[in-house]
Amino acid sequence: MRRRTVERPRRSLRSTIATVGLLAVAMVGQAACSNGGTPGPGPSEGSAAASGGVGELTMWVRAANEGKSRELAAAYEEATGIRVAVTAFPDDQYVTRLATAASTGDLPDVLATDSAYMPRFLEPNIFADLTDRVAALPFADELFEPLMDVSTRDGRVYALPRDPGNSMVLWNKDLFREAGIDPDAAPTTWAEMLESARAVDALGGDVSGFYFPGNCGVCNVFPWLPLVWASGGDLFDAEGRPTFDDPEVVAALELYRTIVQEGLVPPSAQTDTGSDWMTAFTAGKVGILPLGSFGIGTIREANPEMDMGIAPLPGREGGSASFVGGDVIGIPLASAHPDEAWEFIAWTLSDEVQIDVVAASHELVARTDLVENEHSEADPLVRIANDALAVSRTPQSVFYQQLVVDANGPFSTLFYDVTYGGADPAEAAAAAQRAALDVVGAGE
């Protein structure tokens, strides 16, 4: 991974957007003239090339990224006069909404989606081919590789990284100190993580050793699946078919069941659908929280005095892993304004926006050449999250939405039944595998 530390005089966001807008226009022309491969979407009747400019672009996002999307849209409009109208859909309805819209061609100009959904969205050709446009970017080789991989099929690129984030384990150093645990030592095995949770929980009062949102399977798979990966197991095989009865899957389920049975999580966790995932930890009432790098800025904003540690998720006997997620962004084939949409996407990936907007918010940048910047250099937690990208991966299965995201699907059912329903982990995993294979069979 090539890295360079970026420090330079700040420019106004208005100046940044104007400059990057000109660069994007130049890249549109360069990409249109390039040889080899299928060109990206070109001028249409509604594009700037045909009509002299447009006043509005439409963009769809998941509800989880609505705030960030509206912030960027407002800044872009202020500097260019082009409004980006953001429509957010509930995360658990997003795939169905896109599938319905794709069947009628009723899609926006810009489309952002969870990277885990991309293997499915590449199948019906929802996204336009951006290969030549991407190749013309001066930082094309620096775009975050795992998210580029899930957005590429047969050598053609259909989306770009928007906001990568990886799963991590967070811990409250103050509570570790109070419990007699080395506050600077990350858990390196499941046993260490469990013993630390027990020690913190023994402090009593309203302090709990551990937390996870018990009624949100898709929330939990993000920091839970790396426990499996680091131990040599997986939920999917190399072809993207389910392996829910993998022995390490069963073992990781047993770990979480033990945490619940020993009362190491507060009672409220059982009904948490993800809305309170960070609440108790942010309040200083939880010792260990499997979460993600996206929580760094949120927790710090709410509790600036919190002293917390962060590390990749440990394996059963050692090793570590992380689930790299976040959204990718592309242009639907049905976009009425593909050139303007591309200018907006190129702007979101510019040096200034990645550093002065993304990195400044304690989030991970989408370009490897900007990983070390003035903000990450000043933030040890972000540096650790960046380093964890080396052990990060993304599950790739066209069945991910039906098997994992669906609140009533096989994984969510399995996770809840084992952790709170009293089900035997091995028996429940075998039943989930049969249900998952039924879904796969129906989808093939």
Cβ–Cβ < 8 Å for 95, 69: no
Q: Are residues 399 and 433 in the same domain?
A: yes
Dig out the tokens for 387 from the structure. 């380093």
Query: Letter for the amino acid at 80?
Result: T
Q: Is residue 1 part of a domain?
A: no
Mean pLDDT of all residues in 229-256: 97
Mean pLDDT of all residues in 252-256: 98
Q: In which residue are the tokens 């609140």 written?
A: 407
Predicted pLDDT at 142: 94
Q: Is residue 414 part of a domain?
A: yes
- Which tens digit of pLDDT belongs to each residue from 259-318? 999 999 999 999 999 989 999 999 999 999 999 998 988 898 899 999 999 999 999 999
Q: What does DSSP assign to residue 202?
A: T
Mean pLDDT of all residues in 224-244: 96
Q: Is residue 2 part of a domain?
A: no
Mean pLDDT of all residues in 64-73: 88
Q: Are residues 124 and 226 in the same domain?
A: no
In this predicted structure, the answer to whether residue 397 has a pLDDT above a threshold of 50 is yes
Q: What is the mean pLDDT of the chain?
A: 86
The four Cα atoms 120, 122, 128, 133 give a dihedral, to 10 degrees, of 120
Predicted pLDDT at 52: 46
Nearest to 344 by CA among 39, 108, 95, 64: 108
**Domain boundary at 391, 409, 434, which?**
391
Q: Are residues 416 and 296 in the same domain?
A: yes
Q: Identify the CATH number of the domain in which residue 298 sits.
A: 3.40.190.10
Q: Are residues 285 and 418 in the same domain?
A: yes
Q: Are residues 336 and 402 in the same domain?
A: no
- Which tens digit of pLDDT belongs to each residue from 10-67? 333 333 333 333 333 333 333 333 333 333 333 333 333 333 468 999 999 998 889 8
Quote the longest CA-to-CA distance of the chain: 69
Q: Is residue 8 part of a domain?
A: no
Mean pLDDT of all residues in 409-420: 97
In this predicted structure, the answer to whether residue 113 has a pLDDT above a threshold of 90 is yes
Nearest to 166 by CA among 3, 364, 10, 4: 364
Using a pLDDT cut of 70, give the percent of the chain over it: 87
- Which tens digit of pLDDT belongs to each residue from 198-209? 999 999 999 999
Q: In which residue are the tokens 């699946």 written?
A: 225
- Phi first, then psi, for residue 408 (nearest 5°) are -110, 10
Predicted pLDDT at 53: 65
Q: Are residues 24 and 119 in the same domain?
A: yes
Name the domain count of the chain. Answer: 2
Q: Are residues 267 and 408 in the same domain?
A: yes
Nearest to 300 by CA among 379, 221, 369: 379
Q: Are residues 155 and 236 in the same domain?
A: no
Q: Are residues 363 and 406 in the same domain?
A: no
Give the confidence band of 184 by pLDDT, cuts at 50, 70, 90. very high
Cβ–Cβ < 8 Å for 145, 366: no
The pTM of the full predicted model, rounded to 2 decimals, is: 0.78
In this predicted structure, the answer to whether residue 424 has a pLDDT above a threshold of 90 is yes
Q: Are residues 141 and 284 in the same domain?
A: no
Segments forming the whole domain that contains residue 365? 13-165+325-391
Q: Are residues 27 and 161 in the same domain?
A: yes
Q: Are residues 93 and 135 in the same domain?
A: yes
Dig out the tokens for 377 from the structure. 């250099």
Q: Is residue 4 part of a domain?
A: no
Q: Is residue 239 part of a domain?
A: yes
